[in-house]
Amino acid sequence: MNNERLWTKDFLSVNLSGFFVFLVFYTLMATLPIFVIDNLGQADSKVGLVVTTFLIASVAIRPFAGIWLDTIGRRKILIISLVFFTLTTFLYPLINNFALLLLLRFAQGIAFGLGTTATGTIVAEIIPVSRRGEGMSYYSSSMILAMVFGPYLGINLMNHFTFHILFFVCGFFAVISLLFGLNIAIPKQTLKPKTRIQPSQLIERSALPISITSAIISFGYSGIISFITLYAKNLGFVDVASFFFIVYAIFILGSRPFTGKLFDRKGANIIVYPGIILFAIGLVVLSFSTVPTIFLISAALIGLGYGSIVPSFQTLAINTAAPAKKGMATATFFMFFDVGMGIGSYVLGVVSAKTSFHIMYVITAIAVLLTSVIYYLLHDRKQRKTINLKKAAA
C-alpha cells in the first residue's frame, strides 16, 4: 500500500485556487450567452465568439507560459496571472457593448491561460510520483466541482438578480483564488537560463500525441459548456439547466476514487476507451432530449465519460515529459485543449444557428467517437509496440 502523503496544505491550496479560477470561468461561460443576446442585443450566432475570443488568447499565451514557468519561476507567474485575472473580472460590470466584451474576454483569456498552466504544473510537482494518477484525478475534480457550481450559481443569480451582481460575485471568487495562490509553498525550482525564445521551445513534442487527441474531446465538450443553457431554454426548461451540472458532478465525483487508482494500477486504456463510448452515448441521448428526465440522464452519461477522459489525458501528457519539461507539457496539453474548445464553440455555434441543437449534438457525438481512433493511432499503438519490444527483450 502506498503511504506517501497526498493531502498536504499545498495540495489543498492549489486545488482551491484552481477551483475558484474555474468557478469564475464556468459561471461566466454559462451566463454570458444570455447576457450577449438579452443585454447586448446580439444574434445567437455571435455567442460562440465570446468563448472563442477567450480561448484564442488562452491558446496564444500557453506556450510562452510554459517557458516563463521554467525561466521566471512558478510562483511569480502564478501570482501575476491571478492578480491580472482578478482585475479583469471586476471590469465586467462596465461592459455596455459587444466589442468591449470581446476585448475583455481576450484580456481575461491571457490571465486564465497563464494561471491554469501554472497551477497544472505546480500540482504535478506537489503530488508524489507514485500517486500522480490519483492526485491529478482529484485535482481535476476541483475543476469539475467548479463546472457544477459555476453554472448553477450563475443561472440562479441571473434569474433572481442582475448581471452586475453576478459579475461582482465572480470578482469575489477571483480574490479568494488569489489568496489561496499566495498560500502555496511551491517546491524549490532551478530556473533555466533566459534565452531567446525559439519556435521549437513553444511546444513539448512528447506531449503532442495526447494533446492533439484532447483537442477533439474538447471540441465535443464545447457544445455542452457553450450552449447547454440556450439548448435548455429552447426546450422550455431553462431552470433544469443548472441541475444538469449537478447530476454531471455526482457521477464524476462518485467515480473518481476508483478511476484515478485504476489508472495508476492498470493504465490509461481501461479508462479512456469506455469513457469515450459513454461520452458519445451521452451526447446522442442529449440530442434527443424532449423531457427533463432524459436531459438529466444524458448529464450522468457525459459525466462518467468526459469526466474520466480528461484527467487521464492530462496525466499521460505530463508523464511523457522529462521533469524539466513538465511546464511545457502542461502548456502544450492545455493549448490544444483550448484550441478544440475554441474551434468547437464557433463552429458548433454556426451549426446550431443554421440547423438545430439536435443536429449539432449528433455531430459532436460523431467527433467524440473519432477520438478513439485518433487515440489508438497517435498514442495507444505506440505504447503497445513499446511494451511488446520490452517483453521480447526480456
Sequence spans of domains, the chain: 9-186+202-393
Phi and psi of 196, rounded to 5°?
A: -65, 130
Most confident of 131-135, 192-196, 197-201: 131-135
pLDDT at 119: 86
Mean predicted lDDT score pLDDT of the chain: 83
Q: Are 51 and 345 in contact (CB under 8 A)?
A: yes
Please tell me whether the overall predicted TM-score, pTM, comes out greater than 0.85 for this model.
no
Residue 365 and residue 245: Cα distance in Å, rounded? 19
Per-residue pLDDT tens over the stretch 229-258: 788 888 887 778 778 888 888 887 777 667
CB 11 within 8 A of CB 127: yes
CB 19 within 8 A of CB 142: yes
Question: Is 148:249 a contact under the CB 8 Å cutoff?
Answer: yes
pLDDT at 387: 61
CA 365 – CA 361 distance, rounded (Å): 6
C-alpha cell at 98: 459587444
| Cell output for 141 | 475534480
Mean per-residue pLDDT for 34-56? 81
pLDDT reported for residue 1: 45
Residues 6+ apart with CB under 8 A from 284: 361, 362, 365
Which amino acid is located at 200 in the chain?
Answer: S
pLDDT at site 285 = 95
| Fold classified for 9-186+202-393 | Growth Hormone; Chain: A; (1.20.1250)
pLDDT for 331 beyond 90: no
Is residue 111 within 8 A of residue 88, CB to CB? The reply is yes
Q: For 104-155, what is each residue's pLDDT tens digit?
A: 999 999 999 889 888 888 887 777 766 766 777 678 778 778 877 888 888 8
Helix residue ranges per DSSP H, the chain: 9-34, 47-71, 74-89, 98-126, 132-160, 163-182, 208-235, 241-266, 269-287, 292-319, 326-354, 357-375, 381-393
Confidence of residue 324 (pLDDT cuts 50, 70, 90): low
Q: Where residue 193 falls among pLDDT bands split at 50, 70, 90?
A: low
pLDDT digits (tens, 9 = 90+) for 54-92: 888 988 887 787 778 777 778 888 899 999 999 999 999
User: Side-chain half-sphere of 106: how many Cα atoms within 13 Å?
Assistant: 9
Would you put residue 236 in left (φ > 0), alpha (ψ -120 to 50) or beta?
A: left
Residue 15, classified by CB atoms within 10 Å of its CB into exposed (0-12), middle (13-18) or buried (19+), is buried
pLDDT at 359 over 90: yes
Which SS3 state, helix, strand or coil, does residue 199 take?
helix
Among 303-312, 363-372, 383-392, name the most confident range. Answer: 363-372
CA distance 358 to 375: 27
What does the alpha-carbon distance between residue 278 and residue 176 come to, in Å, rounded to a whole number? 35
